Amino acid sequence: MRVVVISGSMFGTTDLVADRAVTVLQGAGLQVERLGEMSLDLLLEQQADAWLVCTSTTGMGELPDNLLPLHLQLQERFPLLDGKPFGVIALGDSAYPDTFCAGGLLMREQLLELQGRELLPMLQLDASETVTQEDDAEPWLGEFVEALAARQL
Ligand SMILES: Cc1cc2nc3c(=O)[nH]c(=O)nc-3n(C[C@H](O)[C@H](O)[C@H](O)COP(=O)(O)O)c2cc1C
């Protein structure tokens, strides 16, 4: 099983979470690709069995600059995902109550609209509660691995 990991980050915290995701998934014996440039062509080229999207939120509920083009391309080109499994890890800060984790929600909604299948409820990591988001993501990542494994049976 091949998983592609995507990271939308402004200041690098989400990249740390995505790095940890790669470590955990590889440790479970999965083939993992970390997408460098966020473009739909590159993403589709990977022919991954599952997508893991990690993203923070910036501005007033916006996606990080490096993830905006991919989100736009998903909206405009509308590649149907035909039940492809995906998961979303959203980093945010509850100091922004009206737009808490809105970037993750935007990606999640887009993937659902494209008929992806969400494997686990979106993980929300709150910068007001933790500064070790990558450690806090580990239990969810373990469940993500289990959910992927269950699909292979
Ligand atoms: C300018 C700015 C705007 C932000 N806006 C939001 C927001 O609207 N909603 C939210 O949940 N978090 C918001 N955050 C919090 C970040 O998403 C959070 O700190 C995250 O961990 C940053 O991850 P990153 O370093 O990968 O970008 C904002 C942070 C900054 C600096």
Euclidean distance between CA atoms 108 and 53, whole angstroms? 9
CB 89 within 8 A of CB 8: no
CATH, residue 57: 3.40.50.360
Q: Which atom belonging to ligand 1 lies closest to the Cα atom of 55?
A: 26
Strands 117-118 and 2-8, by their bridges, are unpaired
Ligand 1 centroid vs 54 CA: distance in angstroms?
Answer: 13
Confidence (pLDDT) at 148 = 95
Tell me, using a 6 A CB cutoff, whether residue 131 lines ligand 1: no
Across the chain, what does the average pLDDT equal? 97
Confidence (pLDDT) at 83 = 96
Q: Is the confidence at residue 37, as pLDDT, over 90? A: no
Tell me, using a 6 A CB cutoff, whether residue 56 lines ligand 1: yes
Query: First vs last Cα of the chain: how many Å apart?
Result: 12
Q: Is the confidence at residue 151, as pLDDT, over 90? A: no
Residue 148: CA count within 13 A, CB half-sphere? 27
Tokens of 128: 């007001």
**DSSP code of residue 145:** H
Q: Residue 83, SS3?
A: coil
Count of domains for the chain: 1
What pLDDT, in 10s, does the model give residues 113-144?
A: 999 999 999 999 999 999 999 999 999 999 99
Q: Give the residue numbers spanning the domain of 79.
A: 2-152
